[in-house]
Amino acid sequence: MARTSAPWSVVAVLSASGIAVSLMQTLAVPLLPAFPRLLDTTPSNAAWLITITLLTGAVCAPVLGRLGDMYGKRRMLLVALTSMTVGSALGAVSSEFLLALAARGLQGVAIGVIPLGISIMRDELPPERVGTGIAVMSSTLGAGGAIGLPLTGFVAEYADWHWLFAGAAVFGALQLVLVTALVPESPVRSGGRFDLGGAVGLSAGLLCLLLPVSRGSTWGWDSPEVLLLLPAALVIFVGWGWYELRLPTGPLVDLRVSARPAVLLTNVASVLIGVAMFASFMVSAQMLQAPAATGYGFGLSLVASGLALLPVGGAMVAFSPLSAVISRRWGPKVTVVLGTSLLAVGNLARVTVHDGLAAVIVVVTVPAVGAALAYGAVPALIMRAVPQSETAAANSLNALCRSIGTSSCSAIVTTVTAGIVVRVGDATYPGITAYTVIFLIAGGAAALAGAIALVTPAPRTVETVTSAA
């Protein structure tokens, strides 16, 4: 039975918080070429303004999820939003690189808002509203980024860059007030003591994994850093897993639950969905801004390309409730398979469709629809297979898997576009073959994710959330 008398206000506030968090992921992207000049630093250092949010988010999401299960999900959600707001305010008043780096790191902590919000919905909403609320909240991870690119591009082109951070700070402060006023605290608690050793081990393993994944194209894939960090990640994760399995109670991640086929296969599929979704998001603006002489570009400005891609964000918002409708009728597995099929078709169609701006926009929107359907249904698959007392931790682990997928996609895109280039006048651009390779990889990842979802077994124990699925 729901504890809140205003379920749609809870959905609206939590989804707005998700939009705010996803905006943080793209906030610095349009400014990346200008940051070396704006912050008096090198291009290599400036790239850390993107990397740091990935690292802090990956480390903090599972920790906040576990703390939310133990001490209160809304409480940890407010911690994450506070970190985002403070980081944004710091960025708004600073022009020093190290302070801007700290600001971006604090913003990255907020990635935990989305899995915590999903878990609150499971605990608080009426059964018939859970599926729709979760689908909308889950899709904000992609929708916010798609909507945010034209917005941040406009500010980057026509206003002082500090306004981006100032606006994020105001948005964050407003969300803090709304969450405090309208979102009830979940009564579900797992209890126990916090697994500090597990948190340290997982953080170390993630850093050793994600640093070379995100920086490998800059360092070189055969550099000493990459060759040392990747094996170190493997060793740390093996040791961490051994430690977690030996804890009698309260591990940071219950690996026995995470190893259930319904959970494990869904998390693997989430990594692949992240790759398939982010490929189109990451390169579409670049392709639209490239000159027509490249064979695929339209020569649009930063703002015009962002406006052309607005249907992508709109499609994710519009189709996420449909994800819940399909899941209620046929089950979340069907929804994920349908979503990944559209992701595969859309990415593979990008290989051949390069002429006509309207046609390109339509083809770019197809993967967005697929991502909305798939992302909207994935949390339902996870929550059907885990105890309610572990909802936030399980959703946070799934969010981490999505993050690993998007960061892996970023590494793939950077490596391929740097290796296959064409010259147009005095400038160098990625060649059309580079984008063909990227979309083939993304389409293949989506198809594999769909196949994995298709063979994912139903959980042995279906809990309350089943009615939402």
Q: Tell me the C-alpha distance between 205 and 404, whole Å.
A: 13
Contact 360, 313 (CB under 8 A): no
Condensed to tens digits (0 to 9), the pLDDT of residues 171-194 reads: 999 999 999 999 888 777 776 788
pLDDT, tens digit, 9 for 90 and up, residues 328-341: 888 889 999 999 99
pLDDT value of residue 437: 93
pLDDT surpasses 80 at 325: yes
C-beta separation of 280 from 364 below 8 A: yes
What is the reported pLDDT for 324?
A: 81
342, two tokens: 């559209």
* Cα(143)–Cα(468) distance, integer angstroms: 22
Phi, psi of 219 (to 5 degrees): -75, -30
pLDDT-derived band of residue 469, with 50, 70 and 90 as boundaries?
Answer: very low
Nearest to 12 by CA among 4, 397, 357, 308: 4
What pLDDT does residue 465 have?
40
Segment 411-416 mean pLDDT = 84
Please give the single-letter amino acid code of residue 368.
A
> What pLDDT sits at residue 426?
81
CA–CA gap between residue 240 and residue 350 (Å, rounded): 41
* 50 vs 46: CA distance, rounded Å: 8
Ranges 90-94, 102-106, 306-310: which has the least confidence: 306-310
Q: Report the pLDDT value the prediction gives residue 233, as an integer from 0 to 100.
A: 93
Mind listing the domains of the chain with CATH numbers? 1-185 (1.20.1250.20), 196-252 (no CATH), 256-463 (1.20.1250.20)
What is the CA angle 239-245-250, rounded to 5? 115
Per cent of the chain over pLDDT 70 is: 95
How confident is the model over 192-207, as pLDDT tens digits?
788 889 889 988 998 8
Model pLDDT, residue 102: 94
**Residue of higher predicted confidence among 272 and 32:** 272
Specify the range with the lowest mean pLDDT, choosing from 166-170, 353-357, 442-446: 353-357
Kindly report, residue by residue over 372-399, the tens digit of the pLDDT. 899 888 888 888 888 777 777 788 888 8
> Binning pLDDT at 50, 70 and 90, where does residue 344 land?
very high
pLDDT of residue 231: 95
Whether 137 contacts 18, CB under 8 Å: yes
pLDDT in tens, 202-254: 889 988 988 888 788 778 888 999 999 999 999 999 999 999 888 877 788 88
pLDDT at residue 5, rounded to an integer: 53
Confidence at residue 145, expressed as pLDDT on a 0 to 100 scale: 67
Q: Which amino acid is at 105?
A: G
Using alpha carbons, select from 19, 124, 101 the residue that is nearest to residue 54.
101
Q: What is the mean pLDDT of residues 412-439?
A: 86
Res 10: pLDDT: 87
d(CA 212, CA 254): 27
Residue 463's pLDDT band, with cuts at 50, 70 and 90, is very low
The more confidently predicted of residues 34 and 10 is 10
**pLDDT averaged over every residue in the chain:** 85
Across 131-135, 430-434, 440-444, least confident range: 131-135
* pLDDT given for residue 219 in this prediction: 85
pLDDT at 165 over 70: yes
* Cα gap 327→131, rounded to integer Å: 8
